[in-house]
Structure 1
Amino acid sequence: MAADTPPPALQDFLTWRLHRLAKLTDRQSIDAYANVFGLGVGEARCLAAIGQFAPLSVKDLAAQANLDKAQASRAAQMLVERDLVLKSASETDARGVVLRLTRTGRPLWKRVMQLIERRNADIFGCLSEAEQRQLEAMLDRLIAHAHARPEGSSPATP
């Protein structure tokens, strides 16, 4: 970029727009999880991840729920205190724990998943089915590409 060329507008960057979309949809999700289930968004994400991928360690839960380990640990503990999640000792890691849904947690997990499904239909309903499939494929490629980068690496600079 030449010295006298202005930088691109911030709102034109794809990462900016993805983040903006995520924040807009998060606000609505936060309200829905709190009003319908009495859960915070982190707790709802953890419940969804545990129900989908159990058994999970706290580290794996953090990765699946897109939270840091401390957030995942606090959310998991709250779910345990509400008898939605069972925390037991790991058979493979003496210091670790394994998280699973309880009998009380399973029906709530199903309701949370139904809400997620409705939220997705609402958010992406403005796209045709073909456009949704294209977007899903592109997002999958971007996620795989981002995962392939070594953690902490930054893009090459000119």
Structure 2
Amino acid sequence: MAKPQATAHPKQAAQQPLTLDRTLSYRLHKLHKLTDLGSQQDYLRETGLSLSDGRCLATIGTFEPLSVKDLALRANLDKGQASRAAQALVEQGLVSKQHDQLDARGVVLTLTEAGRAAFVRTMDLVHRRNQQIFGCLSAAEQETLSALFDRLIQHSRQP
């Protein structure tokens, strides 16, 4: 009688090294660049905002009130970029910047009335762009990909 062969765990199996163009980071970066190009054009045409300003407006509207530091964290920007974007949105009358009652050096960002209208237009665009990007996947595939991204993000946050 033949002895059953033990199967190696996938992580233990000898794997051929991936070529650069098959690595996750390379493909994520490529997808990011391809989708940002379309998003940049759509943001300018539909909201009159740059992609960066539009993303910051969407972040402020979703999580307000926010400090500049919180905006940077939520929008995946450095503090300088977040500060410049917030100031640009203030100058356009879309965001209000008030002194933080808890931190004398800090500010709190909230949407103005005009900012709320721009937020609705921006979020409509965000949802349409999301559907354009992921529309080639079935609903089940979209759910699976979303869960996998959540897992990868959680794993990447671990020390």
Matches within 5 A, 1:94-133: 94-133=104-143
Match of 1:13 in 2: 23
> Distance between the aligned counterparts of 2:42 and 2:156, measured in 1?
30
Letter in 2 for 1:116: V
Indicate the SS of the match to 2:65.
coil
Greater mean alpha carbon deviation, residues 30-39 or residues 128-137 = 30-39
User: Normalising to structure 1: TM-score of the pair?
Assistant: 0.88
Cα distance in 1 for partners of 2:18, 2:134 equals 27
> What TM-score do the two structures reach when normalised by structure 2?
0.87
Q: Tell me how far apart the structure 2 counterparts of residues 18 and 66 of structure 1 sit (CA, whole Å).
A: 15
Letter paired with 1:120: N
Give the equivalent residue in structure 1 for 2:85: 75
Residues 62-117 of structure 1 show CA distances to partners (whole Å, capped at 9, x for unaligned) of 11111111111111001001110000000111100000000110011011000000
**4+ residue segments displaced more than 6 Å:** none
Match of 2:45 in 1: 35
Name the larger-Rg structure. 2
| Equivalent residue for 1:64, pick from 67, 74, 93 | 74
Report deviation, 1:8: 3.0
Distance (Å, rounded) in 2 between the aligned partners of 1:10 and 1:123: 23
The answer for unaligned runs of 5 or more in structure 1 is 1-5, 150-158
Note the residue ranges of structure 2 that are not aligned, 5 or more in a row.
1-15
Aligned residues: 144
Corresponding residue SS for 1:99: strand
What is the CA–CA distance in structure 1 between the aligned matches of 2:47 and 2:105, rounded to whole Å? Answer: 32
The CA RMSD over aligned residues, in Å, is 1.1
